[in-house]
Structure 1
Amino acid sequence: MTMTGSTAPRAPRAGKAKTEKEILFDRELEDLPPDLRWREWMLRIEAVIFASAEPVTRETLSRIVGRDCSIDLLIDDLKEDLHGRPYEIVAVAGGWQHRTRPRYTDAIRASSTPTRGGGALLSEFEAMVLMAVGYFQPVTRGELSKIFGKEVSRDTIGALRNIGFIGSGPRSPTPGAPYTYVTTKQFLSAFGMETLRDLPDIEALEDAGLLSRKEMVDETLPAPADDGEG
């Protein structure tokens, strides 16, 4: 007997396939009691932040916890959990990252163990140039040379770019339209800052003689030729 109106089996719709994929990772954990569910979300967040080489964003963390879960409250509870430990979770560069507490800096230095922070890779002059870029960005190589009263070489700029602490900014409106340089998110992360507003007060640095805004516009210091190349 022939069945009328019968059709061949249909392929699953894209929407259904996506739902099945999501089920493979249970975000909601509805089978757990509320207290155990919250604890599991906390541990997931800590695991992801610990494993990541970069600050983990809110968007990333929202993929591993319930849709109505508060990321901020989970982070707060994690920070409380880590009280008394030599490391903590801090907000840096638009996300969160595990960091050793400052009181253990000397012990880490004494151990001579390699660390994830890139700041230790810089020479003293490279660190000073990086600091100037942080405060005066977007800034050209010629303007940096004015600040320090001597040429800031392409090698110095290249070293800071290779580490990932600075990148290219907009072309300067000055004659020749030279490149400008700006700091990156990796710079913020390496130095434990959430935004550039966390930079130390520039007036305090000027009082200490470390930076001078006046020298930046002082025409008595000739700027090296800047042909627009990095």
Structure 2
Amino acid sequence: MRKTKTRSEVLIDRELQDLPPELRWREWMLRVEAVIFASIEPVDRETLARVVGRDCSIDLLVEDLREDLVGRPYDIVSVAGGWQHRTRASYGPIIRASFAPTRSISANLSEHEAAVLMAIAYFQPVTRAELMKVFGKEISRDTIADLRSAGFLASGPRSPSPGAPYTYVTTKQFLSAFGFETLRDLPDIEALEDAGLLSRKADSAVDTDEDQSQGEEEGAPEEDHDWDDDTFRTTS
């Protein structure tokens, strides 16, 4: 019976010392492109370092790959802490006109869901009661649940408000889907306010009774928490 090798047992020649420098660099470029192309999510530096020489510059490899893609309808972009193949924006209308199924999931959001998601991105960590004050109307639990199911939201720390309700924060999946490397890449909030797309009319305070009633209902298991300061720092 043939024994299946584990991932740690699969060895490749990363250094390629038997190749001349030019061919070695080209092979590294192709390896990096192959990994990025095949991945369903942004590929980080550590992952790419597994397939190239230990002294190889990942940034220079990606830079050369991007030069190769000039004039092509797609590019390699830096997003959510890694690199990913993305179609150039100018070809968006062409792709939509074709009705071809795509890997993008951001397009499946309703206008209301997208607005709620962006509000959370700007004001996080934020409770559902605080979102209600931003929009001036109830934000349903179904809307929050749908955004969580899509992988765009996670539970944040409990609010210091009475009742200690859970807050919501965005995820790396949110950054990836919308093409942001970090939350610092979000559009300027004042421009969105001027355009009437986002409002900060609410005070940060939340009614005590409302918070207390939601504290237990909106909670999610602590294990769902998976964020870091760079990714989930509030930018407003």
Query: Is the alpha carbon distance of 1:205 and 1:190 closer, same or farther for their aligned partners in structure 2, counting shifts above 3 Å?
Result: same
- TM superposition score normalised by structure 1: 0.86
Q: Indicate the residue corresponding to 2:4 in structure 1.
A: none
Aligned length: 209
Q: Indicate the residue corresponding to 1:149 in structure 2.
A: 136
Deviations 1:34-81 (A, max 9, x none): 000000000000000000001000000000000000000000000000
Query: 52, 57, 65: which is aligned to 2:39?
Result: 52
Q: Indicate the residue corresponding to 2:58 in structure 1.
A: 71
- Identify which range, 112-121 or 153-162, moves more after superposition: 112-121
C-alpha deviation, 1:223, in angstroms: 6.1
Does the alignment pair 1:29 with 2:16?
yes
Query: Is the alpha carbon distance of 1:184 and 1:219 closer, same or farther for their aligned partners in structure 2, counting shifts above 3 Å?
Result: closer
- Identify which range, 209-218 or 27-36, moves more after superposition: 209-218
Does the alignment pair 1:226 with 2:214?
yes
C-alpha deviation, 1:208, in angstroms: 1.1
Where do 4+ consecutive residues of structure 1 move more than 4 Å?
222-225
8 A Cα contact 2:129 2:206, kept in partner: no
Does the alignment pair 1:111 with 2:91?
no
C-alpha deviation, 1:219, in angstroms: 7.7
| Counterpart-to-counterpart distance in 1, 2:119 and 2:206 | 18
RMSD: 1.9
Partner SS state of residue 226, structure 1: helix
Q: What amino acid maps onto 2:54 in structure 1? A: R
Query: 173, 189, 197: which is aligned to 2:160?
Result: 173
| Counterpart-to-counterpart distance in 2, 1:80 and 1:173 | 50
- TM superposition score normalised by structure 2: 0.84
Query: Is the alpha carbon distance of 1:21 and 1:160 closer, same or farther for their aligned partners in structure 2, counting shifts above 3 Å?
Result: closer
Does the alignment pair 1:213 with 2:191?
no
Q: What amino acid maps onto 1:226 in structure 2? A: Q
Deviations 1:106-145 (A, max 9, x none): 0111111221121111111000000000000000011011
8 A Cα contact 1:143 1:223, kept in partner: no
C-alpha deviation, 1:21, in angstroms: 4.8
Query: 81, 84, 90: which is aligned to 2:71?
Result: 84
Q: What amino acid maps onto 1:228 in structure 2? A: E
| Counterpart-to-counterpart distance in 2, 1:185 and 1:219 | 28
| Counterpart-to-counterpart distance in 2, 1:138 and 1:218 | 13
Q: What amino acid maps onto 2:132 in structure 1? A: S
8 A Cα contact 2:130 2:206, kept in partner: no
| Counterpart-to-counterpart distance in 2, 1:79 and 1:59 | 19
Partner SS state of residue 228, structure 1: helix
Q: Indicate the residue corresponding to 1:11 in structure 2.
A: none
Does the alignment pair 1:137 with 2:140?
no
Identity of aligned residues (%): 72
